[in-house]
Structure 1
Amino acid sequence: MTSLRQSMLAYGTQAMAFSLISSSFNFYYVKVFLDIYHIEEKWFQLAQVLFLVWNAINDPLFAYLQESTSNRFTRTRRESILYAAPLFALSYIVPWFSWGSNPVIVGIHLIFTLFFWDTMLTYVGLAASALFTEISQDPDHRLKLVRIGSIGCLFGACSVSILEYTSGSLSNFFGFQIGSICIGAASYLLFRYTGMNGHTQYDREKITSGQESNITHDKSIQNMSYLSLTWQIFKDRNFLSFVIMNFFQIFHTTFMANFMKVMGDELTVSLSINQSLPWIQSFFYGSSRFLPMILIISTTPMIGKVGYYTTIKVSFLWKIGAGILMYMMGRNYPILVLTYMALDSCFANAMFSLFNMPLSDIVDTDMQKHHRSHPISSLVYGNNALVTKPAISLSPMLTVTVLNRFGYQQLNKKLLTVPQVGSLHDTMFLLLCIQPVIIGALQLITWSFYTIRDKKASQVFPSEVENIINT
């Protein structure tokens, strides 16, 4: 018989699987296509534009599909993960094997990579997010799920460090390819465990009552159109406040994930002069993946007492203050620049891992407000993605455009003079410092309109929840 403990463990394994492949995919794909495959800017921008459009379509499409159909692939949250897991792992491996050196082929390779990756990321991600919301409505359990998910992500975040080690920071690309295959296979096995054991509270109730053969999530909304359901969701002030704030958060985290290595290698080039020091760069790049999880795990008691609303708000204040301070100190201290980038990425990703809690509260509020028999978790998460996912394309598009205007493409071809390189480095440093300040200020404003601030854990680790995890 399945249990809450088993469902929580299953949620943790999918979090680890997600972290294994998503952290290294986002960290490497831009650099691989720019520096290894030498993709032309026009193809890169075209791929990102098409990717942006697909991003805007597939989330609400798959969300409505998961909520309103009873096919084997959509019957339950766990089965959606189980059957999509092999394709998700394959979508991670596809970008690391070149299709050819022709500019057109490279461009098509990137377009296919982004479409395939995001299709599977969306489908599995929606099911996993809905699983978080529906494992339990108890805020104490959800806070524990955040912690379990962070532990899973902590183990999964090692993928960047593994690939840095096996590839010598991409100098041995064959080693990178072998490492990526191993990581993809490991993620599939973890997703499979979730697909076998990730039951929601509604599933467990039916299993307990002997109705296991009838397990499925409620399909009562199939008589309602997607537009009417979406309108109900978007009329909620809390939802609008959250998704606007989340758009800027994703823009920021995508920027750090895609360009931390690109900019870090350039701004700390003096470290590479002494061949005994390049490991420092790899350490900081890898730490940006596991530090957010350590931060969440260690501060869970504080989050339980203060509440996620205040915790997230404080992170915006830190983002503004740290950006201003780093800009004032300058870029002449390579170790300090690496530390700032690691911490900026750390706080941004740590707060992002809390975002399932406000979204779950929005789902619960929607369920009560509209007297639904079952939460429409996938639709809420899907419409959140409808607004926020374009940031995944806009961030690299805008950044690559700015960098190329200051000669980044010529830098790779060794065509820049020393003054031009200095100008490019100044631009990179400006982006690293000023962008978080602007984004943090906008987030402070939009987050102030969110009003669900009293649904937080009354007790961080109640004995019954602690027993569930420790048994």
Structure 2
Amino acid sequence: MGRSAWGCWQSVVSTAVLYGSLALFTSILHNVFLLYYVETFVSVYKIDKMSFWVGETVFLIWNSLNDPLFGWLSDRSFLSSPQSGSSITTPEVVLKRLKALSTNGPLFALSFLAFWVAWARPGLQFLLCLCLYDGFLTMVDLHHSALLADLAVSAVDRTRLNFHCSVFSALGSFSVFLSYSFWNKEDFYSFRLFCVTLSAFSILGFLLVSRLLQHRFQKEVRPRQDEALTLKELSVENAPLTHPEKPVTLGQYLKQLSKHKNFMWFVSMNLIQVFHCHFNSNFFPLFLEHLLSDNVSASTGSILLGISFIAPHLNNLYFLTLCQRYGVYQVIRWLFMLKLGLSVAMLLAGADHIYLLCIFIARYGHAHQHTHQGSDV
């Protein structure tokens, strides 16, 4: 009975829904992290200014290095596989990605918990927590984004997968609303329980969805493996002597990347944009407190924060259509112009126009998150 129910569940849930749900298990944690980790260490753990900026600087360097480093390690694992080369198939690649997600997803959730309990000196804990969290987040994002290329070749299929990612990311943003019911700098116990609940949900989600997708693609891999083994046994006597391909070193990998000018321009633009996004997200609650605390209630502030996190994912459903029609980079260019226009307009208007400032906060967070997400489309 249990086996039949499991099979029924697998057949009902589509691959696109399962793929999109992985974004939910990341976003419910990452949104809370972005909102509270700075305020936790500054207001609760009382980290000193020097340790804070040293930690942020090391984090920025680590964040810049781990993307190409983990990408190289991921590709190296495929090249060193006994099935590497022309014989490796898409289902086999998908299974490797899913295995990595089933490991790194729960570790990412556990690293999220390390922020909310004081277990070392604030400066040391700040540095270690940031590097561990960003490392596992990079691994999860790397394999989740790579699955998009492995699961869908056409732009239509990729748009469908991105659609489900946006829907589930929007659902994950509701953790921002819930967090305000538990956040209390004076009494951290309720907020810790809230974070433990989110982390447990994320761990179970990563394990369950990875297992469902693994079972689905395992059915495609087994016949191909049996066929490949049979062909290998038949042709082993006539097979020419071949030398295994040498794995690409990290230095060669970085040298190859540096020769692509478009890639270097993209990385430079992305570095500035990612820094801007993280700076805006991390200090967003502090900006809100100093700009609007005397004019709006705490509940209104929480609604503004929630809108700034949820609206980009919902509106991204429309932006996917624009990307198909006009191209990703054209849409990103428009969003940069929108951000510049909003900034100039708000600068000229000043901070005395409360309602205009509220709209700017919600819409500006809206625009900057869209630009950051555009590179994933």
TM-score (norm 2): 0.82
CA spacing shift, 1:132–1:204, aligned 2, 3 Å = farther
**Contact 1:23–1:159 (CA<8 Å) still a contact in 2?**
yes
Matched residue, 2:201: 186
Can you list the C-alpha shifts for 1:87-139, whole angstroms capped at 9, x where unaligned? Answer: 11111111111236xxxx11111112112111211222211121122211211
What CA distance in whole angstroms lies between the structure 2 residues aligned with 1:157 and 1:178? 18
CA spacing shift, 1:43–1:55, aligned 2, 3 Å = same
1:327 Cα deviation (Å)? Answer: 0.6
**Contact 1:54–1:115 (CA<8 Å) still a contact in 2?**
yes
1:285 Cα deviation (Å)? Answer: 0.9
Given candidates 20, 37, 57, the residue that maps to 2:45 is 37
Percent of aligned pairs sharing the same letter: 25
What CA distance in whole angstroms lies between the structure 2 residues aligned with 1:128 and 1:213? 29
Given candidates 110, 128, 132, the residue that maps to 1:112 is 128
1:222 Cα deviation (Å)? Answer: 5.5
1:78 Cα deviation (Å)? Answer: 0.7
Q: Which runs of 4+ in 1 moved over 4 A?
A: 203-206
CA spacing shift, 1:140–1:187, aligned 2, 3 Å = same
Counting matched residue pairs gives 341
Matched residue, 1:123: 139
Alignment partner of 1:324 is 2:344: yes
CA spacing shift, 1:80–1:305, aligned 2, 3 Å = same
Matched residue, 2:364: 344
Can you list the C-alpha shifts for 1:54-105, whole angstroms capped at 9, x where unaligned? Answer: 3344333322222222689x971111000122211111111111236xxxx1
Given candidates 4, 13, 24, the residue that maps to 1:16 is 24
Task: Report the residue type matching 1:182 in the other structure.
Answer: T
TM-score (norm 1): 0.66
**Contact 1:268–1:335 (CA<8 Å) still a contact in 2?**
no
Q: Secondary structure at the match of 1:137?
A: coil
1:232 Cα deviation (Å)? Answer: 2.4
User: Unpaired segments of 5 or more residues in structure 1?
Assistant: 215-219, 358-471
- Superposition pairs for residues 137-286 of structure 1, below 5 Å? 137-167=153-183, 170=185, 172-198=187-213, 206-207=220-221, 209-211=223-225, 223-271=247-295, 277-286=297-306
Matched residue, 2:84: none
What CA distance in whole angstroms lies between the structure 2 residues aligned with 1:14 and 1:121? 12
- Superposition pairs for residues 318-467 of structure 1, below 5 Å? 318-357=338-377
- Superposition pairs for residues 300-319 of structure 1, below 5 Å? 300-319=320-339
CA spacing shift, 1:229–1:68, aligned 2, 3 Å = same
What CA distance in whole angstroms lies between the structure 2 residues aligned with 1:165 and 1:325? 34
Q: Secondary structure at the match of 2:336?
A: helix
What CA distance in whole angstroms lies between the structure 1 residues aligned with 2:281 and 2:252? 36
Task: Report the residue type matching 2:286 in the other structure.
Answer: V
CA spacing shift, 1:204–1:142, aligned 2, 3 Å = farther
CA spacing shift, 1:172–1:279, aligned 2, 3 Å = farther
Matched residue, 2:119: 99
**Contact 1:63–1:126 (CA<8 Å) still a contact in 2?**
yes
RMSD of the TM alignment (CA)? 2.9
Matched residue, 1:62: 70
1:346 Cα deviation (Å)? Answer: 1.0
Task: Report the residue type matching 1:128 in the other structure.
Answer: H
Q: Secondary structure at the match of 1:224?
A: coil
Task: Report the residue type matching 2:374 in the other structure.
Answer: L
Matched residue, 2:237: none
What CA distance in whole angstroms lies between the structure 2 residues aligned with 1:198 and 1:316? 37
Given candidates 284, 299, 307, the residue that maps to 1:287 is 307
Task: Report the residue type matching 2:201 in the other structure.
Answer: A
**Contact 2:59–2:127 (CA<8 Å) still a contact in 1?**
yes
What CA distance in whole angstroms lies between the structure 2 residues aligned with 1:25 and 1:212? 46
Given candidates 91, 94, 102, the residue that maps to 1:82 is 102
1:299 Cα deviation (Å)? Answer: 3.8
Task: Report the residue type matching 2:211 in the other structure.
Answer: M
Given candidates 48, 52, 60, the residue that maps to 2:60 is 52
**Contact 1:26–1:257 (CA<8 Å) still a contact in 2?**
yes
Matched residue, 1:426: none
What CA distance in whole angstroms lies between the structure 2 residues aligned with 1:161 and 1:282? 7
**Contact 2:277–2:369 (CA<8 Å) still a contact in 1?**
yes
1:257 Cα deviation (Å)? Answer: 0.7
What CA distance in whole angstroms lies between the structure 2 residues aligned with 1:141 and 1:191? 23
Can you list the C-alpha shifts for 1:294-340, whole angstroms capped at 9, x where unaligned? Answer: 11123433332222121111001101100000011110133332321
Task: Report the residue type matching 2:147 in the other structure.
Answer: L
1:284 Cα deviation (Å)? Answer: 0.3
What CA distance in whole angstroms lies between the structure 1 residues aligned with 2:70 and 2:317? 31
1:205 Cα deviation (Å)? Answer: 9.6
**Contact 2:20–2:168 (CA<8 Å) still a contact in 1?**
yes
CA spacing shift, 1:125–1:222, aligned 2, 3 Å = farther
Task: Report the residue type matching 1:262 in the other structure.
Answer: L
Matched residue, 1:441: none
What CA distance in whole angstroms lies between the structure 2 residues aligned with 1:282 and 1:328? 26
Matched residue, 1:454: none
Task: Report the residue type matching 2:119 in the other structure.
Answer: W
Structure whose alpha-carbon radius of gyration is higher: 2
